[in-house]
């Protein structure tokens, strides 16, 4: 029999389809990927082509060679731009619109065309996460910024066209409905219990153990109870921090290690799957709330989303998080 589970952070229901369930190794990618060179002359993100990607907003450079290790710049085709007004205009009272005011940046993670985060040293991933935080901090004070979404698309099924490893940052003048929903649920839980839902969740998962992938001093990596999709993975800090901008450098360093290990387990275990990840963080101005916890969600793109999911918002997941977490634990990465 299938089981219906509720995501405690959004109250969304998920059908865990045990009858149709696949074993974790059924999700291993069988097609081989095209071999990528470490440098591609036509790639706008490769060294030497910096003029194709301006204006630059950040770079971390080697003291000696002055070559960059990480680089950020405004997206050439930005979804949002800093000009305009956040005033809402209403067409007939209920059709609200506002200018597409905001910031859309790209963060190139390495000068090496074919080196994904999973195959870097910790130091490289630390650079990337520090760049996230530096750009987050730089954009946060802008008056029109109400929410900052940092995300990554890896592979064609995850919506990327450029293979050179990169992340994106979008600063929006509105708080997305999904983030509001997470906050409403966490606040209601806080009002009822006096506790942070996410911290209680992490404690519960650690006590149960079966959905844990990795635990370190400062972080817990798990496959959530109501995973929407196979191998969905959350990285939760143990600290109580609503916003990523409050993470200390020590936390960032440990997060880099934990993220690399987690991505490497996916890389080895599932043969370099396509995936997205996204950093959920408190809306601007709510950084010090007690009830929310920033976290990172990794969503491998192993299955297609069909009409039932689009229509109802209820996902049918054909993998058991308890089994996929066990599979991930078994993948050696050291």
Among residues 34, 177, 194, 332, the one that binds its own copies under rule CB under 8 A: 177
Q: Is 142 in the site for its own copies (CB under 8 A)?
A: no
CA distance 81 to 86: 12
* Size of interface with its own copies, in residues (CB under 8 A): 79
Binding its own copies (rule: CB under 8 A), the pick from 133, 172, 243, 251 is 172
Distance between CA 313 and CA 226 in Å, rounded?
Answer: 13
Distances 246 to 59, 110, 137, 190, 289 between C-alpha atoms, Å: 21, 25, 10, 20, 12
Residue burial 30-47, b: 16+ Cβ < 10 Å; e: rest: eeeeeeeeeeeeebbbbe
Q: Which region, judged by CB under 8 A, interacts with its own copies, from 47-55, 254-262, 304-312, 319-327?
A: 304-312
Per rule CB under 8 A, is residue 316 in the interface with its own copies?
yes
For every residue of 138-165, DSSP letters joined together read: HHTTSTT--EEEEEEEESGGGT----S-
**Mask for 204-223, x = binds its own copies (CB under 8 A):** x---x---------------
Between residue 74 and residue 103, which ones bind its own copies under the rule CB under 8 A? 77-81, 83-84, 91-92, 94-100
232-251 binders of its own copies (CB under 8 A): none
Q: Give the residue, chosen from 69, 152, 260, 295, that forms a contact with its own copies under the rule CB under 8 A.
A: 152
Residue 4 or 123 having the CB closest to its own copies = 4
Of 258-287, binders to its own copies (CB under 8 A) are 276-280
How far apart are CB 16 and its own copies at their closest, in Å? 8
Query: Strand order in 56-61's β-sheet?
Result: 56-61, 68-74, 103-108, 166-172, 147-154, 275-280, 295-300, 233-237, 219-222, 212-215
- Residue 25: active-site member: no
In order, the DSSP letters of 47-91 are TT-GGGS-SEEEEEE-TTT--EEEEEEE-SS-SSBS-S----EEE
Give the one residue of 174, 252, 331, 333 binding its own copies; rule: CB under 8 A: 174
Instruction: Point out the catalytic residue in the list 113, 164, 166, 183.
Output: 166
Q: Judged by CB under 8 A, does residue 143 bind its own copies?
A: no
Looking at the annotation, which residues are catalytic?
Answer: 166
């Amino acid at each position: 029999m299938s089981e219906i589970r509720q995501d405690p952070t959004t109250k969304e229901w998920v059908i865990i389809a045990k009858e149709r369930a696949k074993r974790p190794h059924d999700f291993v990618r069988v097609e081989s990927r095209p071999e990528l060179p470490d440098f591609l002359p036509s790639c706008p993100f490769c060294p030497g082509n910096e003029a194709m990607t301006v204006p630059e907003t950040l770079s971390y450079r080697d003291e000696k060679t002055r070559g960059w290790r990480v680089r950020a710049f405004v997206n050439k085709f930005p979804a949002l731009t800093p000009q305009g007004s956040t005033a809402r205009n209403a067409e007939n009272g209920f059709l609200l619109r506002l200018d597409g005011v905001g910031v859309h940046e790209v963060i190139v993670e390495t000068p090496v065309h074919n080196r994904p985060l999973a195959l870097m040293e910790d130091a490289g991933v630390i650079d990337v996460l520090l760049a996230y935080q530096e750009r987050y901090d730089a954009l946060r004070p802008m008056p029109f910024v109400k929410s900052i979404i940092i995300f990554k698309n890896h592979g064609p099924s995850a919506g990327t066209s450029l293979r050179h490893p990169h992340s994106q940052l979008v600063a929006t003048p509105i708080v997305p409905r999904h983030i509001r929903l997470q906050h409403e649920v966490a606040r209601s839980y806080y009002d009822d219990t006096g506790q942070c839902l996410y911290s209680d969740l992490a404690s519960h998962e650690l006590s149960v153990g079966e959905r844990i992938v990795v635990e370190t001093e400062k972080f817990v990596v798990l496959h959530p109870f109501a995973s929407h999709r196979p191998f969905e993975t959350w990285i939760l800090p143990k600290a109580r921090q609503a916003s990523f901008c409050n993470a200390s450098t020590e936390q960032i360093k440990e997060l880099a290690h934990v993220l690399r290990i987690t991505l490497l387990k996916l890389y080895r275990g599932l043969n370099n799957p396509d995936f997205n990840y996204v950093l959920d963080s408190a809306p601007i101005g709510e950084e010090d709330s007690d009830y929310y916890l920033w976290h990172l969600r990794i969503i491998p793109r192993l299955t297609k989303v069909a009409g039932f999911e689009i229509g109802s918002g209820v996902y049918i997941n054909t993998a058991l998080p308890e089994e996929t977490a066990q599979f991930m634990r078994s993948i050696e990465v050291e």
